[in-house]
Amino acid sequence: MLFNSIDFAIYLPIVFIIYWLLNHKNLKAQNTFLVIASYIFYGWWDWRFLSLILFSTLVDFILGQLLAKENSTNKRKLFLWLSVLTNLGLLGFFKYYNFFLDNFTHAFSWLGTPISGRSLNIILPVGISFYTFQTLSYTIDIYRKQLQPTKDFIAFAAFVSFFPQLVAGPIERATNLLPQFNKQRVFNYTKAIDGLRQILWGLFKKVVIADNCAVFVNTIFNNHQDHTGSTLILGAIFFAFQIYGDFSGYSDIAIGTSRLFGFDLKQNFAFPYFSRDIAEFWRRWHISLSTWFRDYLYIPLGGSRGTKIEQIRNVFIIFLVSGFWHGANWTFIIWGALNALYFMPLMITNSNRHHINIVAPNSKLPTLKALSKILLTFSLTTLAWVFFRAENVTHAIQYLSGIFSTSLFSIPQVTPTYLILLILLFITIEWLGRRNQHALETLFFKSKRPFRLTFYYTLIILIFWFSKNEQTFIYFQF
């Protein structure tokens, strides 16, 4: 069920009304309803994959109980590895089986010993990468004795399958979200209204920005050999805004929807395209995944401790694994490696934490120095996105070769004025709201009510106007 679909527009109010009508009942009844609603939401795509969520939920719930009761170090490690291998085994089979098989057979063929393997027609379950990491963090935190396991299976099942963030995050930690299922929720009008504003902005990002960019991105990337370098760079820029609008739009809708039900999810995007270097970008982009890898992979590897060589090794590992998490394609691994290379100068010079706060916190406009850094970071990020978007490595190299050709300085063949104006409007609103959790949190609060309502209705009209270009969310494939 897509957030930007008629199905969800009907589904959400029904779930919302029943959920709050159950508020006078016991907490378990409300949580049980959330589990049922979440399973219906997920089963809308393919009901067969509900068994995977239920299996992961049962495995980690049981292992969490065993980890808490066991004092033997060896047995606790055994239970932890059972969780890790079970979850990553399922993820690996559905997402990477054919990738490893194809590369294995190609390697033997290259060595002169051809072998054959049977590829499987595997359908990737929507959201498996997200809920797998969510349940893994639960057992790891219990193993580390940073979390006490819940004895309430319904609450745990609701935590794993919570429908707003089930399919594409944010990847929530049990330490933040699980306790919220164990306490009574009270409807908060102010929180709900702010949730609606965040949903509105998320829909604008997705429907108006991302889906309109997608039309031109698909045309340019699919026919890159027919376009000039200037058109190709425009296509790459459009993709940068497509993936940001698409993914951060999903996160905004997820977080806003959660607020309607009395839950607070962590911020997943913090205006990353206003970053002044790559390190700042990765502190602001897909925060729930970046911090997951930081806490469960980077720090255990040694983090920023040890020699400079060890630090560089750890950074490369984290970026390569992050790239591989996104999909079974060498393009994602190269994308991760490129970001690691971008990060290296900052790591070597110990300047990777120079920009912690948002740009220009006390002024309306950035300085020329800050603006130049923002544009450089955006340019590097956009070039890396070419590998993320390309069908394969050859496609990416050909696309980049086309960009850096003599036609780079020609007039682009595709110049959709309306889309450029929409992107400029989008950047302006993001800039004005950059100090907050989302762009509309306090924007125009001091303005007169008619002006504020006109602004909101303008966004709504634009969403309905451009809804004919409906596209699925990019991160559903991950």
- Per-residue pLDDT band for 332 (boundaries 50, 70, 90) equals very high
Is 326 one of the annotated active-site residues of the chain?
yes
d(CA 391, CA 396): 7
Tens-digit pLDDT profile for residues 287-323: 999 999 999 999 999 888 888 898 999 999 999 999 9
Contact partners, residue 14, CB within 8 Å, separation at least 6: none
Give the pLDDT score at 23: 81
- pLDDT of 25 higher than 80: no
Say if CB 91 and CB 53 are below 8 A apart: no
- pLDDT of 103 higher than 90: no
Give the pLDDT score at 31: 94
- pLDDT of 105 higher than 70: no
Catalytic residue among 227, 286, 326, 438: 326
- pLDDT of 392 higher than 80: yes
Q: What is the DSSP string of 296-326?
A: IIIHHHTTT-S-HHHHHHHHHHHHHHHHHHH
d(CA 83, CA 62): 10
Based on its alpha-carbon atoms, the radius of gyration of the chain, rounded to whole angstroms, reads 23
Two tokens, residue 182: 């164990």
Give the pLDDT score at 116: 56
- pLDDT of 118 higher than 80: no
d(CA 167, CA 5): 15
Give the pLDDT score at 122: 63
Residue 355 amino acid letter = H
- pLDDT of 455 higher than 80: yes
Sole residue written with tokens 């797998």:
132
Q: Which of 233, 219, 216 is nearest to 403 (CA)?
A: 233
To the nearest whole number, what is the mean pLDDT of the chain?
Answer: 89
Give the pLDDT score at 287: 95
Longest dimension (CA), the chain: 75
First vs last C-alpha separation in the chain: 16
Q: Which of 308, 310, 309 is nearest to 300 (CA)?
A: 310
For residue 26, give the DSSP letter.
-
d(CA 28, CA 478): 32
Tens-digit pLDDT profile for residues 179-197: 999 998 889 999 999 999 9
- pLDDT of 98 higher than 70: no
Two tokens, residue 25: 């009942």
Say if CB 387 and CB 335 are below 8 A apart: yes
Contact partners, residue 456, CB within 8 Å, separation at least 6: 197, 200
- Per-residue pLDDT band for 36 (boundaries 50, 70, 90) equals very high
Q: Residue 365, class by beta-carbon neighbours within 10 Å (0-12 exposed, 13-18 middle, 19+ buried)?
A: exposed
Say if CB 308 and CB 316 are below 8 A apart: no
